[in-house]
């Protein structure tokens, strides 16, 4: 009597693309629930809190602006619902860029697993930084920030915002909050999660701080400056992955990185240390959103200075390590045996980076290949 053998076939494993698309579909359905809620009178009042900006006020037209009234906004607790909805939108856009752009490039380039994850990271961040930088620059030009820098501290507190200004901050908070579930969707390695949480937390801390303390003018300028430098880093890394001979972009990024840190400190000290310190109204008033007191100014400057010093410390350590390795690679090797050995030279490329801020493992910019030993 024949004995049937048990099947040893392993269960089918879902691919990463399928899992990512499945989560994107679920998020899309949740977002559609809020949009469909606008169509019915019973649910419209609840859905509108998630979809549209809240806390708007209408200022009557003045003699200087007699054409139309001004519609301005301030912040409140209902903004959390709006941030949640646009966090769902950010997850959907993230999945669309991943599936229809980055995954197609990855299939053609045949990257390794490490390069694959870093290419996806730089692809997503470069798109976000470019969009935010262009959007922020448009707001700066339309509200005359460039022609009149004193607007950074003049007439503080800046508790009333235009539609573009408030929507910009809501979108920024939504994007960086969406980065938390993306750690699960992208199946991030456990050893990479701590560094991801650090820079996501730093972004949320500074953006939310500028938003809640009514320093939105200063925060917008610093974000545009920082995003431009970060965009240059990630776009240079994308070009490096396609052609490893491309390294000029990293040299330009290194110069602009240092200048960006200096400009950030100068603008912060000029606005908080001099502009707000000389203002007449220096009383803490939660009703009007005035936080122009000495303790708050010191805390703001301290947080900015510590963050910039931390980024420069990482950057300097990486550059010193890179120069040492470059000098050892260029040093002549001493031949101990006449025998000839063949082997592949070890090579490490730019496959690590935290938003353009170099990490302590020293793998954020390209290294020269080792010469083949003979």
At residue 295, the pLDDT reads: 95
- Grade residue 144 by pLDDT with cuts at 50, 70 and 90: confident
Residue 173 CB: number of other CB atoms within 10 A? 22
At residue 261, the pLDDT reads: 95
User: Rounded to the nearest 10 degrees, what angle do helices 163-185 and 193-212 cross at?
Assistant: 160
Nearest-angstrom CA–CA distance, 169 and 58 = 20
Element (H, E) at 172: helix 163-185
The arithmetic mean of pLDDT across residues 197-206, rounded, is 94
How far is residue 300 from each of residues 92, 292, 294, 295, 303, measured CA to CA in Å?
34, 11, 10, 9, 5
Nearest-angstrom CA–CA distance, 284 and 308 = 27
At residue 330, the pLDDT reads: 67
- Grade residue 262 by pLDDT with cuts at 50, 70 and 90: very high
Whether the pLDDT of residue 203 is over 90: the answer is: yes
- Grade residue 343 by pLDDT with cuts at 50, 70 and 90: very low
Please state, for a pLDDT cut of 90, what percent of the chain lies above it. Answer: 50
At residue 26, the pLDDT reads: 85
- Which residue would you say has higher pLDDT here, 12 or 204? 204
Structure tokens at 230: 């970060």
- Which residue would you say has higher pLDDT here, 364 or 203? 203
Nearest-angstrom CA–CA distance, 244 and 366 = 8
Domain ranges of the chain: 12-50, 83-327
Whether the pLDDT of residue 30 is over 50: the answer is: yes
pLDDT one-digit tens code per residue, 157-169: 899 999 999 999 9
Look at residue 290 and give its three-state secondary structure. Answer: strand
The arithmetic mean of pLDDT across residues 356-371, rounded, is 44
Question: Alpha helices of 186-293 — where are they, by DSSP H?
Answer: 193-212, 216-242, 248-268
Lowest mean pLDDT among 45-49, 51-55, 109-113: 109-113
Nearest-angstrom CA–CA distance, 278 and 280 = 6
The arithmetic mean of pLDDT across residues 41-65, rounded, is 84
Nearest-angstrom CA–CA distance, 139 and 130 = 14
CA-closest candidate to residue 118, choices 15, 225, 240 = 240
Please state, for a pLDDT cut of 70, what percent of the chain lies above it. Answer: 79
What sign results for the dihedral spanned by CA atoms 331, 337, 341, 346?
negative
- Grade residue 20 by pLDDT with cuts at 50, 70 and 90: low
The arithmetic mean of pLDDT across residues 190-199, rounded, is 90
- Which residue would you say has higher pLDDT here, 339 or 305? 305
CB-CB contact of 195 with 354 (8 Å): yes
CA-closest candidate to residue 261, choices 299, 316, 210, 208 = 316
Find which of 9-23, 131-145, 236-250, 276-290 is predicted with most confidence, using mean pLDDT.
Answer: 131-145
Q: What residues does 72 pair with on adjacent strands?
A: 57
- Grade residue 318 by pLDDT with cuts at 50, 70 and 90: confident
At residue 250, the pLDDT reads: 85
Nearest-angstrom CA–CA distance, 45 and 352 = 46
Whether the pLDDT of residue 69 is over 50: the answer is: yes
Whether the pLDDT of residue 114 is over 70: the answer is: yes
Nearest-angstrom CA–CA distance, 255 and 261 = 10
At residue 12, the pLDDT reads: 46
- Grade residue 363 by pLDDT with cuts at 50, 70 and 90: very low
pLDDT one-digit tens code per residue, 204-257: 999 999 999 999 999 999 999 999 999 999 999 998 888 777 778 888 999 999
- Grade residue 337 by pLDDT with cuts at 50, 70 and 90: low
Nearest-angstrom CA–CA distance, 23 and 16 = 11
């Amino acid at each position: 009597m024949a004995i049937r053998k048990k099947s040893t076939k392993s269960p089918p494993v879902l691919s990463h693309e399928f899992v990512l698309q499945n989560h994107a579909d679920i998020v899309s359905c949740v977002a559609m629930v809020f949009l469909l809620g606008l169509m019915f009178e019973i649910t419209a009042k609840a859905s509108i809190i998630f979809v549209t900006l809240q806390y708007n006020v209408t200022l009557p037209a003045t003699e200087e602006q007699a054409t139309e009234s001004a519609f301005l906004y301030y912040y409140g607790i209902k903004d959390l619902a709006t941030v949640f909805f646009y966090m769902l939108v950010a997850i959907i856009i993230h999945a669309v860029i991943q599936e229809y752009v980055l995954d197609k490039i990855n299939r053609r380039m045949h990257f390794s697993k490490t390069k694959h994850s870093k290419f996806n990271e730089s692809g997503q961040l470069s798109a976000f930084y470019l969009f935010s930088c262009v959007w922020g620059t448009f707001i700066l030009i339309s509200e005359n920030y460039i022609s009149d820098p004193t607007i950074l501290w003049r007439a503080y507190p800046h508790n009333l915002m235009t539609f573009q200004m408030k929507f910009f901050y809501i979108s920024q908070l939504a994007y960086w909050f969406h980065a938390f579930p993306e750690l699960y969707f992208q199946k991030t390695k456990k050893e990479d999660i701590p560094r991801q949480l650090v820079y996501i937390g730093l972004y949320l801390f500074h953006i939310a701080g500028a938003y809640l303390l009514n320093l939105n003018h200063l925060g917008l300028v610093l974000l545009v400056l920082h995003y431009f430098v970060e965009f240059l880093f990630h776009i240079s890394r994308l070009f490096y992955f396609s052609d490893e001979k491309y390294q000029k972009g990293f040299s330009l990024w290194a110069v602009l990185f240092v200048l960006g840190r200096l400009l950030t400190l100068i603008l912060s000290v000029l606005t908080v240390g001099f502009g707000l310190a000389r203002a007449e109204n220096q009383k803490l008033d939660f009703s009007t959103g005035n936080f122009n007191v000495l303790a708050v100014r010191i805390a703001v400057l301290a947080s900015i200075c510590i963050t910039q010093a931390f980024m420069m410390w990482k950057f300097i350590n990486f550059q010193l390590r890179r120069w040492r390795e470059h000098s050892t690679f260029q040093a002549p090797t001493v031949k101990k045996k006449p025998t000839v050995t063949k082997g592949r030279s070890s090579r490490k490329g730019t496959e690590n980076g935290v938003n353009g801020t170099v990490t302590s493992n020293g793998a954020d910019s390209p290294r020269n290949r080792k010469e083949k030993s003979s």
